A and B are shown apart, each in its own frame.
Chain A
């Protein structure tokens, strides 16, 4: 391959890969945001994503490549995990960080166990077909822009649509107002006759389904393989994105773009290095997203605005809600 350092091609490639990398961050951080808006701080995202990825791979693999089956199973697992998480944190009012940590470990364990039970340890891991790009007519013919923005798989477009929809529902509808009030002041919401428990369950389950489907995307977007390191911290970084985005869907979109930008930059620098013949350990570059997260958190945390009641179980009979 000749060194083609054409700036326009480079830019198109960069924007294109940002859009590819944005999806897992976006779906997972939206899941965390929606869950958090109802008052449930779910830190198990990393594990739920891995479980979603594993289940998607297995279901697709054993249904002879039917992607829809794979994603449906991931969504189903997301629902089950969400119900279990909700039962422990909403109904039994257990500490959300304890449950979140446990669920992270349990879901990661189940993900790898299922894969090993069904596939086993193989020399060359089996793979499934990845999602085909959905080329949008007319706009995809625009030079440069078409290549960068309109030749992606369906999940890429859908995740953007979902960000817009969740913004609309949370901030422009009556249900959304009720939903957020449960995360801000559950006692007041309860007094007004809003079903706190129901809203929190809906928030939690929606959140885990998004996390699980985000795992599906990781398997289906580029490699078609399942590996134990496929999530690689994206679930944890998404919590950082939710904090950065002040638990707002559109700001989370911006945060996801930022981190997808960092991730795309890592691979861009790597490919440039091989073109230019510079050798540094790739691990230095791979730490970049994690260092970026630490810096972003340090910059935004003082002014971070969390939903007022996030992380606190709601007990109607408790005399002082904010003791």
Chain B
């Protein structure tokens, strides 16, 4: 019994092992052609996160960002909607949190909660225009959410260059938010924000909602077969836009967590290429939250490692993006080749 199960497990894992090796192989080839020492580069990429507490805490922080971003993509993705607007929603969430953190004064506990709520509100607001256009005019969400990304990027620059501009910096960014709006630290030095607890809690909550509640069931039904779901009384015309707005709220929450917990200010370009990484994580995990958590952690390890490598040897950080993208392509290919599994 155990034997056959083991064989089945090995057989099932062949495409994934193959895909991971191929993706790492090609990225290694790029490193080699770029004139880098492949073995030591990979050693840095895979181990840098565990060198000391500082880099491990940084990995946890990036993990928190990537987790919220890929959750923000996957909730709409479960109902077959493509929320490529994660970036804009994240930025607007960050802007909302920064606005509250700068313009308001409130007691410590309350201030940070209002900041986070403002982030969620602005993030979901940013998704609700595409959601409205989808519900009312049938506009495809891919393009409309992307348009909102660009508008968000410019909004961040305008905000960062106006009232609370940090004049000491040459780059558009605001001055730090008040201390009362900062998330409490889990560890004082090296600092680790409690943001990671919140994003893991959100992941757990969403898992519960998707797996065990009626709304979650209807969401999955809509994604599997929208027409059948409609026939059986699921209001798909409401559910699809709603899933987009929820996604926006999650992304906005992620942005607010990063402002209140890590950057403590709004910075132009703070999203880096994490939205793309987050979307790829969600696609790799097929929108399944139980997969998203470990995959997001793995990608943040690689990301922190590559960033360390960039500082030491000037390896372009795009390598992470390419590694992850290739991994997705190879997994898609190996899963669809029928002769692999009999």
Query: Are B318 and A297 within 8 A (Cβ)?
Result: no
Contact flags (1/0) for B66-101 with A, using CB distance below 8 Å?
000000000000000010100000000000000000
Q: Let me know if B211 is at the binding interface, CB within 8 A.
A: no
Assuming the contacts A106-B322, A113-B319, A233-B146, asked whether A294 and B133 have C-beta atoms less than 8 A apart, the reply is yes
Q: Is B144 an interface residue (CB 8 A)?
A: yes
CA distance A195 to B331 in the complex (A): 28
The answer to whether B158 touches A284 (Cβ under 8 A) is: yes
**Tally of A interface residues using CB under 8 Å:** 42
Q: What is the minimal beta-carbon distance from A61 to any residue of chain B, in angstroms? A: 17
Q: Which of B299-342 contact A (CB under 8 A)?
A: 314, 316, 318-319, 321-322, 325-326, 328-329, 332-333, 336-337
Which of B51-59, B135-143, B192-200, B238-246 binds A? B135-143
Task: Please name all residues of chain A whose beta carbon is closer than 8 Å to the beta carbon of B217 when the two chains form the complex.
Answer: none
Of listed A120, A121, A239, A290, residue having the most chain B CB within 10 A: A290
Q: Quick one: given A97-B142, A297-B143, A298-B137, are A109 and B318 in contact (CB under 8 Å)?
A: yes
Q: Is B34 an interface position by the 8 A CB rule? A: yes
24 contacts between A and B (CB under 8 A): A93-B336, A97-B142, A98-B283, A99-B332, A102-B332, A109-B273, A109-B322, A112-B318, A113-B318, A116-B318, A117-B316, A120-B314, A232-B150, A283-B154, A284-B158, A287-B154, A290-B151, A297-B133, A297-B140, A297-B143, A301-B133, A301-B137, A302-B138, A304-B138
Chain B nearest CB: distance from A131 CB in Å? 27
- A162 CB-CB contact with B under 8 Å: no
| Shortest distance between the CB of A275 and any CB in chain B (Å) | 23
A98–B332 touching, CB < 8 Å: yes
With beta carbons under 8 angstroms apart, the residue of B138, B143, B155, B283 that contacts A101 is B283
Q: Which residue of A lies closest to B30 (CB)?
A: A113
The reply on B276 being an interface residue by CB < 8 A is: yes
A43 touches B332 (CB 8 A): no
Annotate A101-115 by CB proximity to B: 1 below 8 A, 0 otherwise. Answer: 110011011101100
Q: Which of A78-133 contact B (CB under 8 A)?
A: 88, 92-94, 97-99, 101-102, 105-106, 108-110, 112-113, 116-117, 120-121
Which residues of chain B are near A240, meaning CB under 8 Å? 143
The verdict on B202 contacting chain A, using a C-beta distance below 8 Å, is no
Residue in A97, A101, A110, A240 with the greatest tally of chain B CB atoms within 10 Å:
A101
A273-319 contacts to B (CB < 8 Å):
281, 283-284, 286-287, 290-291, 293-294, 297-298, 301-302, 304
Which residues from chain A sit less than 8 Å from chain B, CB to CB?
43, 88, 92-94, 97-99, 101-102, 105-106, 108-110, 112-113, 116-117, 120-121, 232-233, 236-237, 239-240, 243, 281, 283-284, 286-287, 290-291, 293-294, 297-298, 301-302, 304
- Chain B residue numbers with a CB within 8 Å of A232 are 150
Shortest B231–chain A CB gap in Å is 14
What is the bound-complex CA distance between A116 and B151, given in angstroms?
27
Bound together, the chains give a CA A240 to CA B146 distance in angstroms of 11
A302 to B134, CA, bound (A): 10
Say yes or no for B157: interface residue by CB 8 A criterion: yes
CB-CB nearest in chain B for A298? B137
Shortest CB–CB separation between residue A50 and chain B, in angstroms? 11
> With A88-B329, A102-B283, A281-B161 in contact, do A301 and B82 touch (Cβ < 8 Å)?
no
Q: Nearest chain-A residue to B162 (Cβ)?
A: A281
Residues of B within 8 A of A121 (CB): 314
Smallest CB gap from A115: residue in B:
B316
In the bound complex, residues from chain B placing their C-beta under 8 Å from that of A120 are 314
Apart from A105-B279, A108-B321, A281-B161, 20 more pairs, CB < 8 Å: A93-B336, A97-B82, A97-B142, A102-B280, A102-B328, A105-B280, A106-B329, A110-B322, A113-B30, A117-B316, A233-B146, A233-B147, A237-B147, A239-B143, A283-B158, A287-B151, A287-B155, A294-B148, A297-B133, A301-B138
Report whether B322 and A290 are in contact in the complex, using a CB–CB cutoff of 8 Å. Answer: no
Q: How far is the CA of A147 from the CA of B234 in the complex (A)?
A: 60
A302 touches which one: B33, B82, B137, B158 (CB < 8 A)? B137
Looking at B136, B316, B319, B337, which has the most chain A CB atoms within 10 Å of its CB? B316
A94 to B329, CA, bound (A): 10
B38 at interface by CB-CB < 8 Å: no
